[in-house]
Structure 1
């Protein structure tokens, strides 16, 4: 996942699934049938599994990355006046996307020695990762969440992310018991070669969310997906624990 992560991590069609965190944190859906078709089209799943991450300094990937190849950004001090609702800092514990039947626990993601965001563990296809050195979901700024589209064992948590529709809700349960509810603005697919780091990872005056995974065609030769799928969402409401 495909977080924020050089870039953890839309709607265009794809041909095969995989996962890796890199260019978009970094580690961001046609129908369940199409999603399964992706799996069968990539019999040799990717070995490297990271999502895209927000870039602070561009780092050329040493190996292919399914979710991207961006380095996550340094902590940002907001420079614009706050806009819309926001919440205090609290670590996310569970992600729920009702329209995609997603109900997954979180793990914290950091930048590895190679300068890329580490991916969620490949042995747990139902886990998502959050860039723990960035804002928490609900805080003002862009929170980065990345997940795999598939693993070596089959489909993973963000298999259907590209099919998420504008207006759909994303609930994030946090450690303090509160719930941050985001509303999806758009889901887009970007070529990893031209990933829009600034648009995905830049600081924002409102509380926003980026869900990132890999997408597009799976290149068996380099064991990497050609694109990243990114869902853009904003904080719509919150509930105290």
Structure 2
């Protein structure tokens, strides 16, 4: 295990900037919990409802009689902070990219209180899907930045502060859990004409034998109107 990625089978797909090639990783990601730590966890991470509350990535309804212009968005600026009031998240954001082997970087496990912005993608407030990832827990600190991500529901808010001082407010449209073997790569990393946000962590029931979580929880959100 290196200092900038978790061990185990925490698969995170990624989409290289400017490329149509999408790679589904099988042996990298985040959300690792040490075997000795499992007994001291206060509770397992909350999970989304079994049935989706709303369609993934559904756009806000528009009038069929009025043409709706695509949003113009802000100029590019890295995010510095994420606030999710419903679950008490108020965290700094670090920049992440890809490792030399092509896998997605994640915050170090000993800094699992931080979130990570996937820098090759859109920045929050730009047109496109900005992707922010984070650990669900860590043997170093216990419950991590996105431990309660599965509690979010449609209508909840996610606020992102950027380095240029602007704050972009997002509204959650849906929260879903996917097996890591069936991750919705295009919905998370693919193109869109909306100002979107995807927040990702690990989910499901921790597999003691494998030392990992089997699923990913994905929050789909769009800029608040």
Partner of 2:35: none
Partner of 1:25: none
Partner of 2:160: 172
1:195 aligns with 2:183: yes
Taking only aligned residues, the RMSD between alpha carbons, in angstroms, comes to 2.4
1:146 aligns with 2:106: no
Number of aligned residue pairs: give it. Answer: 181
Alignment equivalent of 2:218, drawn from 230, 236, 241: 230
Partner of 2:107: 120
Give the 5 Å matches for 1:53-92: 53-55=13-15, 56-58=21-23, 61=26, 63=27, 65-66=29-30, 83-84=70-71, 86-92=73-79
What's the CA shift string for 1:50-95, capped at 9, x where partnerless? 672434343553x36446xxxxxxxxxxxxx962362221110000
Give the 5 Å matches for 1:20-99: 47-48=7-8, 52-55=12-15, 56-58=21-23, 61=26, 63=27, 65-66=29-30, 83-84=70-71, 86-99=73-86
Deviates more, 1:120-129 or 1:206-215: 120-129
Q: Which has the higher contact order (CA 8 A, sep 6+)?
A: 1
Q: Is 1:52–1:146's contact at 8 Å kept on the other side of the alignment?
A: no
Partner of 2:37: none
Distance 2:165 2:9 in 1: 31
Runs of 5+ unmatched residues, structure 2: 16-20, 32-67
TM-score, normalization: structure 1? 0.69
Q: Is 1:109–1:120's contact at 8 Å kept on the other side of the alignment?
A: yes
Runs of 5+ unmatched residues, structure 1: 1-19, 22-45, 68-80
Q: Which has the larger radius of gyration?
A: 2
Distance 1:218 1:139 in 2: 35
Distance 2:101 2:116 in 1: 18
> How has the CA–CA distance of structure 1 residues 127 and 149 changed in structure 2, closer, same or farther, with 3 Å as cutoff?
same
